[in-house]
Chains A and B, each alone.
Chain A
Amino acid sequence: MHSIKSRKRVRLSFTYLLLGVVSLSIFYPLAWTIGASFNRGNSLVSTTLIPNNPTLDHYRALTKAGGTFYYFQWFLNSLKISLFTMILSVVLVSLTAYAFSRFRFVGRKNGLTLFLLLQMIPQFSALIALFVMAQMLNLVNSHFLLILIYVGGQIPMNTYLMKGYLDSIPRSLDESALIDGASNTRIFLQILMPLAKPMLAVVAMNGFTGPLGDFALSSVILRDPKAYTLPIGLYNLISDKMGASYTTFAAGAILISIPVALVFILLQKNFVTGLTEGGTKG
C-alpha cells in the first residue's frame, strides 16, 4: 500500500517538474521579449530579463513613422487584410461547401476532385505568376489583389473541411424543413449554419491567421513600405539595421502578440471542437 502511494508521489513530482521546465521554455522567450521592449538603448547586449531602468521609449518610437518605418500603418494593413480575408472566406466557403454537401449536380464530382487537387498544390506554386500578374494589372502594392489571392487560397482546403462537417449533419433535418415549406436559402442560413458553428470558427481562424502570418506571397506584391503588412515590416526592420533596432522590434512584437494571443485563448473552445471533429492543418 505504502509503495503504491510513494510511486504515485514520484510520478506526480516528475510530472510537475517536467511541466515546470516546459512552461519555463515557453515563458522565457516571451519574458525576454517583454524585457527587451522596456530596456534602455537599442542593443540587446545589455538586456536583462527585468530591466533595471524601465523605459517606454521603444513603444513611443513605434508611433514615429517615417523613412521605411510605419508600424501602426502595418498594423492596420495586417488587420484589414486579415479581417476581409476572414469574412470573404467564411461566406464563400460555406456557400460552396453547402452546394457540394447537399446538392447533386452535373460536374459535382469533377469539382470536388479539382478542389482536392488544388488544396494539395501549395499556393506557393503561383508565386512567380503573382509577381508578374501584379505588374501586368498594375496592382503592385494593392491590398485588394492580395485579399483576393488569400481568399482564393483559403477556398479549396476549407471547403473540404466544411463539406465534411456538413455531411455529418443529418439530411433529415433539411428534409423536414423543406416539407414545412422552408426555402433552400432559409435551410442553409437558419438550420445548417448554426449547427456548423464549430467548423465556421475553424474556417474563420484559418482565414484570419493565414494572411496574418504570410510572408512569401505578400512580399511579392507589396513593395512600398507604407503598404507592408506586419511580417514584412518587422522582418525588414530587423534585417535592415543588423540588429540595431531589436528593442523597437520587441515593443512592436509585444503590441501585436498580446491581443492576438488573448483573442486566441478566449476563442479556443470554439474552434477546438471543430478541429478535433474535422481534422485540419496546423
Chain B
Amino acid sequence: MSNTEQQGHSHARIAAIMSIIPGLGQFYNRQIIKGIIFLSVAAIYLRGFANLFNMGFWGLFTLGTEVPRDNSIFLLAEGLIALLVLAIGLLFYYLNLRDAYKNGEEIDYGLKTSSFGGSVKNMFSTSYPYLLIGPGFLLLIFSVIFPILFSFALAFTNYNLYHTAPAHLANWVGLDTFKQIFTVDIWRSTFFDVLGWTVIWTLVASTLSIALGIFLAIVVHQKDLKLKKFWRTVLILPWAVPGFVTILIFAGMFNDSFGAINNVLLHAIGIKAIPWMTNAAWTKVALLFMQSWLGFPYIFVVTTGVLQSIPEDLYEAALMDGATAWEKFRSITLPFILTQMAPIIITQYTFNFNNFNIIYLFNNGGPAVPNSTAGGTDILVSWIYKLTMQSNQYALAAALTILLSFFVILIAVLQFRRTKAFKEE
C-alpha cells in the first residue's frame, strides 16, 4: 500500500526536490516558460537584493562598528527591511516548491499539466482575491507592520541621547531596558505611578461616559417627552465638534488665572479659585469631567439605536405580569442594552487607555513632577510620547511601548472573543 503510494508520488517528489533551484522542477514537469520565469525571478531577486542582505544582516547583528561612518539606527532599519524582503522571498520559494509538487502530482495521476496560457488563466482566477488585498496589504507592511517591528526592535537596544549618530553607536542590550524599568528606583516608581493612574483613568473616565450616555438615552427615550429630535441633536454636539478643539477650549476655561470656570462660575457661587492646572488631583478631576462630556454622545447615539430595537411585546408581557417601571428597566432594558453593546462598551475602555489627546493637549500631562520624566497626569501613551520627543529616551520608550501593547492586546482579546466577525471564522 505504502509502496504504491510512494511510487504514485515519485514525479511530484522529484519535481519538488529539483525545485530547490527554482524553475528546474517546472522544467521537469515540462512547463518550460513557467520554469524560465521562476528561474529568472529567483536570479533577479538574488542579484538585486544580494547587497541589501549583505549590508542588512551585517548591520542587524553589529549595529555598526565605526563612527562616524555607521549609523546604528539606519543599519537597524535596513536590517529589518532585509528581513521583510527575505520573508517575501521565502514565501515565493515555498510557492515554487508547491507548484512543482502539485504539477508533478498531476503527471503522476496521468493528467496533462496545463499549458502556459492555461496557467496564466488559472493564476488570474486564483489570484483575484490577492489582487484585491495586495494594495492595502503592501501599504500595511510599509506604514504599520514595519514601523511596529522597528519600534519593538529598539526596545532591545540602548538607543538614547547618548547613543546617537554620528558621534556614537547603539548596541544590542537584550532585556536590560526591561530589567531597568523594574529595578532602577526612579524608573520603577514613575512606571507604577503612571500605570496606576492609567488604569484608574481608563476605568473611571470610560465608566462615567458610558453611564451618562446610557442614562441620557433612556431619559430621552421616554414616550411622552416632547422635542425628542431637538434633544438628540443637542446631545450629540460634543461629538460633532472636533475633539482637539473642545479640549483646547476647556484648557482655556479651566485656566487658573483667566479661565471662566474660576472667574465666572465658581466666583458666582462664592467658591475660591481652584488650581485646576497646577494641582495634579484637580487636573485629574477636570480631565474626568471633560472625558465624560466628550465621550457620552457616542454611547448615547448607539444606545438610542438599541432602545428603538427592543421588541415592544417584551414590555407588554411585563405589564401583564404587573411589573413596575424599575423592574421593567432592570430586567428588560438594561440587560438588552448591555448584551447588545458589549463590544462597543469594551472599545471605550481601550480607547481611553490610549487617549493621548485629552491628556497631552489639556495640560501637557502636567503639572510637572520634580525628578520625574512624567507629569502628574501622564498616562502611558503620553509618557512614551514625552520620552521620545522631549528626553530622547528611545529605548525606554520602546520597551514601554511593548508593555503597553501587551496590556492593550489583553483587553482587546476579551473584546473580540465576543464579536460576530470573529466567531464566524
Residue of A nearest to B347 (CB): A281
In the complex, are the beta carbons of B128 and A103 less than 8 A apart? yes
Distance in angstroms from A247 CB to nearest chain B CB is 10
Cα(A130)–Cα(B154), bound, Å: 12
For B278-299 the 0/1 string (1 means CB < 8 A from A) is 0000000000000001010011
Closest to B260 in A: A32
- Partner of A213 from B243, B298, B388 at Cβ < 8 Å: B243
A215 & B356 in contact (Cβ 8 Å cutoff): yes
The answer to the question of A177 belonging to the interface, with a C-beta cut-off of 8 Å to chain B, is no
**In chain A, residues 232-282, which have Cβ atoms closer than 8 Å to a Cβ of chain B?**
234-235, 238-239, 243, 246, 249-250, 253, 256-257, 260-261, 264-265, 268, 272-273, 275-276, 279-282
Per-residue A-contact encoding for B131-143, CB less than 8 Å = 1, 0 else: 0110111011011
Once the chains bind, are B293 and A25 in contact (CB under 8 Å)? yes
Interface size on A, residues (CB 8 A): 99
Given A127-B385, A128-B397, A152-B139, check contact A23 B234 (CB 8 Å): yes
Encode B388-425 as 1/0 by CB contact (under 8 A) with A: 11000010011001001100110011001001111011
With both beta carbons as reference points, the residue of chain A lying nearest to B222 in the complex is identified as A15
Report the minimal beta-carbon distance from A239 to chain B, rounded to whole angstroms.
8
Of the candidates A103, A105, A216, A257, the one whose C-beta lies within 8 Å of that of B356 is A216
Report how far A192 CA is from B341 CA in the complex, Å. Answer: 26
Give chain B interface residues in 186-203, CB to chain A under 8 Å.
Answer: none
CB-based nearest A residue for B309: A276
CB–CB A215/B361 < 8 A: yes
**B residues near A32, Cβ cutoff 8 Å:** 249, 253, 260
For residue B130, CB closer than 8 A to chain A, the reply is yes
- Determine whether the beta carbon of A272 is less than 8 Å from that of B301: yes
Please give the distance in Å from A116's CB to the nearest CB on chain B.
Answer: 6
Shortest beta-carbon distance, B16 to chain A, in Å? Answer: 17
B401 touching A275 by the CB < 8 A rule?
no
Q: Indicate if the CB atoms of B381 and A243 lie closer than 8 Å.
A: no
Chain B 220-261 interface mask (CB, 8 Å, partner A; 1/0): 101011000001011111111111111011111101011110
Given contacts A95-B132, A129-B146, A131-B388, contact A256 B77 (CB under 8 A): no
Residues of B within 8 A of A (CB): 73-74, 77, 126, 128-130, 132-133, 135-137, 139-140, 142-152, 154, 216, 219-220, 222, 224-225, 231, 233-246, 248-253, 255, 257-260, 263, 293, 295, 298-299, 301-302, 305-306, 309, 341, 343-344, 347-348, 350-351, 354, 356-357, 360-361, 364, 381, 384-385, 388-389, 394, 397-398, 401, 404-405, 408-409, 412-413, 416, 419-422, 424-425
